[in-house]
Structure 1
């Protein structure tokens, strides 16, 4: 038994012991989402495939698995899923434009050193591939933020069913503002935690601060962080307005049906 298997068993045990059945579903969802990403990657090898469309489809599937498989189908997960899909659609065009503008598609100088024996003319649009990478890096934070807003809004509405759409929307925005700062910090420090070795390598290469900022590999990661931050910011008003409207509308329908 190797270290990966031991860590997997520890994770499984903790998730089941602490989360119960929901923890078990969360553990299974990790592997389902992993195979979705793996399938998307294999399909990208086809030269006729559009990586952006594949990533968009994968984001929808991952959102559905994360929300409905783990938390089951209810008003909270439905509104969070709808908000996630709408926010992702808004981000698609922006992300592709940003990747082309910053020119971070393809391999950087630091990455090609060990790949010089390979042919890079593989017939794949690396700008679209990079846009797909940014999308896949964004979806996790967006889904997490969406359910973190819709769930407390549902509880607020359940205890105060007479709230108007505007009052419930304002409550959702206040919740989102509290989450926004911590989510942005999580994304930022996740980059430095994952790329600490890269920063050390920049130091070994005697890169100046300007050279580090202009390095393609650094710029690509910064684009990913900023796109994820924009997605986390956009999901707050989108989830708030959708959840407020759907909950209040459902309340009105329930009142009419009891008359």
Structure 2
């Protein structure tokens, strides 16, 4: 009786309790669950079965008109600025007469080495006419101390005298033995720590700077019967392997889209090599060439990787807006900032070969092209984010979509700005290290020479990038609209009836 002190549930209560356990009040009916799951899945991809995102017909017409106008302007610029055969810059020979590039593999490195002196290493030839033979190679000190190892593959120079004999075969002729014509100009002695290679004065061809000093270091001609000069490392095999690894990783991770992006990159590089380089060397305005060339690079890079759609076309418009801001800012701020473009050995060598070129304009053209990749990155991200947020918030206003997308954009701005800065710092690291050893104020250091050029490049490219984000976001938020096709209304009706 004690165990039964509590009254048993009435028959009317039992079914009600079981119903609450079987079907909770807040649970959706079974027929509605698949539809809700499918709807949520659609949001994850941005184009769910329940919500269709599209641009209005009028918006598409305006977008198409703007894109075609930009494409027509780009094609017109390519036609007008395309270099002809008459304006082609004369080519320069790499090597002086009697100088030949051969391939060797390092076999022996001396144990004792002076950090400020040229070094003689032993190597085995891997190309004709020295294949399989042991030769001596003179290596400049900056290469010797940077980590030369046994097994390294090198490209070396073989120098012939006026009689056609190589320098080693002719014996110790001194620096006069290298004078085979106007293209070879002997430099300082190797014992002074000078480099092994010197560009010639007239033709720009490369020749060893001395032979007499090298012969003195190596002893007599009989002790080193064949002496060659370091030219460069042979990087074809390792770089080829890295390229294959890169393509495999891209194919496995990004699959078809990643490989299409590589095709777009190849197309962009082709624009630079086939159009921009010849046009600038042919005398065209470098900034105008960079603007037209950058525009021509945008279309294949975006459409190859992401396909042709309203979303990607929105990104293209945003990229063009950022590109225009970068060009205008570079032109306006370049002269007051003293950006002459004359910093660095490459700029002076280019001016020596083609004195009619404007180095300041070439520098500004480089600023425009340098920020193009990051600019395209942020515009694609912003356009895609706006469409994804519209799919997730179909009832939100355009302003709400804009503000939500801009929150993503601000995070992207922060990361991209220091990405550009760090990239430029890495490329100018030797210059920064030298500057850090000089006693002068920080502002003077940042505003001097090559450092000022990198600061200018970072500021201009970052400004164009930052302003492209709200522009792309505004276009995408305006174009992204919610549609209610007939199949969506029918599904909503079925879900509504399933609740009863």
More helix by share: 1
Query: Within the alignment, does 1:179 sit opposite 2:412 as a pair?
Result: yes
Query: Within the alignment, does 1:241 sit opposite 2:474 as a pair?
Result: yes
Q: How big is the shift at 1:244?
A: 0.9
Counterpart of 2:282 (choices 46, 63, 74) is 46
Match of 1:11?
246
> Quick one: distance in 2 between partners of 1:156 and 1:53?
38
- Unpaired runs of 5+ residues, structure 2, are 1-235, 490-500
Query: Within the alignment, does 1:60 sit opposite 2:285 as a pair?
Result: no
Q: How big is the shift at 1:126?
A: 2.3
> Quick one: distance in 2 between partners of 1:116 and 1:77?
41
Match of 2:371?
138
> Quick one: distance in 2 between partners of 1:117 and 1:245?
47
Match of 2:362?
129
Tell me: CA distance 1:84–1:114, structure 2 relative to 1, closer, same or farther (3 Å): closer
Q: Equivalences for 1:166-205 in 2 at 5 Å?
A: 166-203=399-436
Does the Cα contact within 8 Å between 2:264 and 2:302 map onto a contact in 1? Answer: no
Match of 1:69?
304
Structure 1 length-normalised TM: 0.87
Equivalent residue pairs, number: 250
Match of 1:98?
333
Q: How big is the shift at 1:25?
A: 1.1
> Quick one: distance in 2 between partners of 1:113 and 1:22?
37
Query: Within the alignment, does 1:220 sit opposite 2:220 as a pair?
Result: no
Tell me: CA distance 1:33–1:113, structure 2 relative to 1, closer, same or farther (3 Å): closer
Q: What SS is found at the alignment partner of 1:106?
A: coil
Q: What SS is found at the alignment partner of 2:366?
A: helix
Tell me: CA distance 1:158–1:7, structure 2 relative to 1, closer, same or farther (3 Å): same
Q: What SS is found at the alignment partner of 2:395?
A: coil
Does the Cα contact within 8 Å between 1:36 and 1:58 map onto a contact in 2? Answer: yes
Does the Cα contact within 8 Å between 2:351 and 2:357 map onto a contact in 1? Answer: no
Greater Rg by CA = 2
Q: How big is the shift at 1:161?
A: 2.9
> Quick one: distance in 2 between partners of 1:118 and 1:95?
21
Does the Cα contact within 8 Å between 2:318 and 2:471 map onto a contact in 1? Answer: yes
Q: How big is the shift at 1:181?
A: 0.7
Does the Cα contact within 8 Å between 2:319 and 2:379 map onto a contact in 1? Answer: yes
Match of 1:149?
382
> Quick one: distance in 2 between partners of 1:254 and 1:67?
29
Does the Cα contact within 8 Å between 2:340 and 2:359 map onto a contact in 1? Answer: yes
- After TM superposition, the runs of 4+ consecutive aligned structure 1 residues lying more than 6 A away are 252-255
> Quick one: distance in 1 between partners of 2:347 and 2:427?
20
Q: How big is the shift at 1:121?
A: 6.0
Does the Cα contact within 8 Å between 2:389 and 2:405 map onto a contact in 1? Answer: no
Structure 2 length-normalised TM: 0.47
Match of 1:80?
315
CA-to-aligned-CA distance 1:218-238 (integer Å, 9 cap, x gap): 111111111121122101210
Does the Cα contact within 8 Å between 2:424 and 2:458 map onto a contact in 1? Answer: yes
Does the Cα contact within 8 Å between 2:446 and 2:455 map onto a contact in 1? Answer: no
Higher relative contact order (CA 8 A, sep 6+): 1
Indicate the larger mover: 114-123 or 175-184. Answer: 114-123
Quote the RMSD (CA, aligned, Å). 2.5
> Quick one: distance in 2 between partners of 1:98 and 1:227?
9
Does the Cα contact within 8 Å between 1:146 and 1:235 map onto a contact in 2? Answer: yes
